[in-house]
Amino acid sequence: MPAVDLDLYVTTPDARTIYFASAATIDGTLRHDVACGDPLAPGAPCASETVVLRTIAPGTYRVGVDFVDVCAESPAPVAFDIAADLAGIRQETSGTITPGEFRPAALEFVVPADRGAAHGDGAE
């Protein structure tokens, strides 16, 4: 994968979004924002961003991806993978994204009322 800066966005059922500019909210925390020039350089096999939620409320969750920067590479579409583990439910998706594109709902799913209130789950 070429060196790029893709940003992860997680929007909770109460409409709070966790991302690089709001890395900690009442709902959860962005553990690491991988960016151009980071020691975990974008494009490295383990360069990923992870959001950990404090509690998992029932409702709709959206996981988005934003293609922020090409890190001095030539602009071209790149592949991304998203995995979310919430309340014992695992969702995954893959896709491609072009420079400057923002997908606020690359992955969307519902945690049913009987599965909410778990701790320590998240998306990457």
pLDDT digit string, tens, across residues 43-61: 554 568 889 888 888 999 9
Report the pLDDT averaged over residues 79-107.
Answer: 90
- The whole-number pLDDT of residue 109 equals 85
Residue 53, phi then psi, degrees to nearest 5: -95, 140
pLDDT surpasses 80 at 18: yes
Average pLDDT, rounded, for the chain: 82
**In this model, does residue 41 exceed pLDDT 60?**
no
Decide if pLDDT at 65 tops 90.
yes
Which letter does DSSP use for residue 54 in this model? S
For the ranges 14-18, 23-27, 37-41, the lowest mean pLDDT is seen at 37-41
User: Which pLDDT does position 116 carry in this prediction?
Assistant: 60
Give the other-Cβ count within 10 Å of 51's Cβ.
Answer: 24
Provide mean pLDDT across the span 12-18.
Answer: 93
CA dist 82 → 73, 79, 109 (Å)? 23, 10, 13
| pLDDT surpassing 60 at residue 35 | yes
